[in-house]
Structure 1
Amino acid sequence: MGLIIFLLLLGDILVLAELLFIPGTIFTGLLGLGSIVGSCYLAYNNISPTVSIIIFVVNIVVLVIATILLLRAKTW
């Protein structure tokens, strides 16, 4: 369970870093996406398919909200 959470957080950080700080380098985005997919795969195998889908959907919602909040003008 700890590895799944770690991979989700790492994936979120890498994807947000790709969007905000180092755009154009596909490497960090692919690592983040791979980390998110890996965490969903581990959740699918170790917990249940339903939990894996819920984790993936919640993670996408968190990424969208974080991107919107970080791209606001008053954030920086």
Structure 2
Amino acid sequence: RRQLLIHGARAVLRWVERKDDPTSRWAMALKGRRHTNVAAVALANKIARIAYAVLTTGQPYDPAMGAWVKP
């Protein structure tokens, strides 16, 4: 359900300052630009797209491909 993805994304957003992976850097930058609720929904969308790609392709998740931060 969408609500559970957003709930999980909110939990992730509380910890992004302590992480240094590409997705955390993307989420921290987004959190700085947008309202926290908007950032949570955007992160939930990213998580859903990653999960869909993993399930449909059968390939393992590659964190290096998980986030592209625009300079």
Query: Whose helix fraction is larger, Structure 1's or Structure 2's?
Result: 1
TM-score normalised by the chain length of structure 1? 0.47
Larger radius of gyration: 1
Q: TM-score, normalised by structure 2?
A: 0.50
Higher relative contact order, chain-length normalized (CA < 8 Å, sep 6+):
2
